Amino acid sequence: MTYLEKFINKVEEQIDKLLTPYHKESELLETIPGVNKAASATIIADMGVDMSVFKSAKYLASWAGVSSGNYESAGKKNK
């Protein structure tokens, strides 16, 4: 157990070190309800901080998998 705790601490230190250039962005993300330090690190790792790669907020939401779905089959719309 001690070994795992030390290993986890080393990994967390490495993550903190790598997030240093993105401190401002991380703090801003953490102002979102439900987003903690670990979540902000994951968001930055997945999406980056350059939002110009997404044409719009809708494209970002779609890429992240949080846009509403289009549930249509054989011309019938399902809710």
Structure tokens at 21: 């250039």
Asked if 61 contacts 67 with a C-beta cutoff of 8 angstroms, the reply is: yes
Interstrand relation of 76-77 and 72-73 (parallel, antiparallel or unpaired) = antiparallel
Q: Closest by alpha carbon to 40, among 60, 18, 58, 55? A: 18
Q: Which DSSP helix (H) or strand (E) runs through 11?
A: helix 2-19
What does each of the 79 residues of the chain score in pLDDT, given as a tens digit? 999 999 999 999 999 999 999 999 999 999 999 999 999 999 999 999 999 999 998 888 888 887 776 666 666 666 5
- Residue ranges covered by each domain of the chain: 2-66
Dihedral through CA 44, CA 47, CA 51, CA 57, nearest 10? -120
pTM of the model: 0.69
